[in-house]
């Protein structure tokens, strides 16, 4: 699947560039995008290193059990087949809390830790598990109490009331979140592991 | 009032959280430094693993943008939107939002500047920008970090959720702001 999508993106990009006379831009874009991708990965090193260190402290001190206790209903609802005391659930709940509190820089390290733990429970290592798909459905519609970037952007462009979109944003996110989770439950049987 | 409260909350959440984590750990007699270093040592490897996945995806998205393919799609879809009385100005944002975080943020900034942040289009764009994350980027990074290439229905689910968020943004903004 990912092979077809990537091929289609590259193919359409190249063909349209040729057809619209932007062929000169192609090699420049390839170079600058690749450079940007490496820069993203490198800028993640610092953040990942810091938050994975903090995560270890949270686990070792037992603070994680408070997080798990508070958010257990959510993880039971979303991940009924995961053992609720597994590190995978810990990392998932930390990721969701970080997103909720607007700690975007912490959310990704916790999320990647969650993926690594989910991979340990994955019966077919080459293929996404149902739990991973649920987790990503939760993540791509990132629930946050405060869309800080947008508020800052609105304030910067002279809004009379930069925070007035908080309500509509939370409602739209909730719709996306619920839709994603329901869609995942409906689609998982059509894309059983082993197939593509 | 509410706004300054929210700004304070945003500025304080990480410092307070770190304080809580560290004080609780010391109270529980955890060796905080040793434990931090032990956990942190995986950070480098995880990030570097992502490079090939990120290069593949960001180059493809960069090509789509620079070639004008997205503009072409906007041109094709715009008449359809006007039939449903949806402002066509937000279409580039809706198409860019799942693909590129920085690209979408740029479009949102552009909409806020040209139509005003308190216009209907400005409010819809703000809501769209804040209510979903960059689906392609998240899938690339998260699956890339564990080396999974058979992503099954994850992309379909992400895009369905994005579409739901955009529809909801339009509906809620119409209801709340008229």
Q: Do B126 and A165 touch (CB under 8 A)?
A: yes
Q: B161, B162, B168, B173: which to substitute to probe chain A, counting the most A Cβ within 10 Å?
A: B161
Please name which of A144, A140, A179 lies closest in space to residue A165, comparing C-alpha atoms.
A144
Q: Do B153 and A10 touch (CB under 8 A)?
A: no
Task: Point out the residues of chain B with pLDDT beneath 70.
Answer: 1-7, 9-10
Q: Which residue of A has its CA nearest to B167?
A: A172
Burial class (CB in 10 A: 0-12, 13-18, 19+), A4: exposed
For position B104, what pLDDT does the model report?
92
Contact B104, B110 (CB under 8 A): no
pLDDT in tens, B8-19: 766 787 889 899
For position B8, what pLDDT does the model report?
73
d(CA A140, CA B157) in angstroms, rounded, equals 9
With beta carbons under 8 A apart, name residues in chain A contacting B2.
163
Q: Is A30 helix (H, G, I), strand (E, B) or coil?
A: helix
Q: Do A33 and B59 touch (CB under 8 A)?
A: yes
**Residue A114 or residue B12, greater confidence:** A114
DSSP A193: B
Measuring CA to CA, how many Å separate B112 from each of A105, A152, B82, B127?
25, 12, 21, 12
> Does A196 have pLDDT greater than 60?
no
Comparing CB atoms, the residue among A46, A119, A168 nearest residue B146 is: A119
> Does A89 have pLDDT greater than 90?
yes
d(CA B80, CA A166) in angstroms, rounded, equals 29
């Amino acid at each position: 699947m990912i092979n077809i999508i990537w091929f289609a993106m590259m193919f359409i990009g190249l063909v349209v560039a040729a057809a619209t006379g932007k062929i000169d831009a192609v090699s420049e874009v390839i170079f600058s995008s690749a450079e940007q991708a490496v820069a993203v990965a490198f800028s993640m090193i610092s953040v990942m290193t810091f938050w994975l260190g903090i995560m270890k402290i949270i686990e070792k001190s037992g603070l994680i059990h408070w997080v798990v206790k508070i958010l257990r209903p959510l993880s039971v609802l979303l991940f009924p087949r995961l053992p609720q005391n597994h590190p995978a659930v810990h990392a998932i709940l930390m990721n969701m809390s970080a997103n909720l509190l607007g700690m975007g820089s912490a959310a990704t390290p916790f999320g990647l830790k969650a993926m690594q733990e989910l991979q340990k429970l994955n019966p077919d290592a080459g293929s996404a598990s149902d739990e991973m798909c649920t987790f990503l459905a939760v993540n791509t519609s990132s629930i946050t109490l405060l869309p800080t970037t947008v508020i800052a952007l609105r304030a910067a462009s002279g809004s009379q009331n930069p925070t007035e979109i908080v309500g509509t944003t939370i409602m739209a996110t909730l719709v996306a979140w619920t839709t994603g989770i329901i869609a995942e439950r409906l689609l998982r049987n059509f894309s059983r592991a082993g197939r593509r | 009032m509410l706004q300054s409260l929210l700004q304070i909350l945003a500025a304080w959440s990480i410092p307070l959280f770190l304080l809580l984590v560290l004080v609780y750990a010391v109270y529980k007699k955890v060796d905080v430094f040793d434990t931090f270093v032990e956990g942190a040592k995986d950070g480098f490897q995880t990030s570097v693993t992502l490079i090939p996945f990120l290069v593949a995806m960001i180059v493809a998205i960069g090509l789509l943008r620079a070639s004008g393919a997205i503009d072409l799609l906007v041109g094709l879809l715009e008449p359809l939107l006007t039939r449903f009385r949806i402002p066509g100005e937000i279409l580039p944002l809706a198409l860019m939002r799942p693909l590129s975080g920085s690209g979408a943020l740029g479009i949102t900034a552009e909409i806020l500047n040209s139509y005003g942040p308190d216009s209907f289009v400005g409010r819809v764009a703000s809501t769209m920008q804040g209510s979903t994350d960059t689906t392609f980027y998240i899938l690339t990074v998260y699956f890339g970090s564990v080396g999974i290439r058979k992503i099954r229905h994850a992309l379909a689910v992400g895009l369905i959720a994005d579409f739901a968020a955009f529809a909801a943004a339009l509906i809620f903004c119409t209801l709340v702001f008229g």
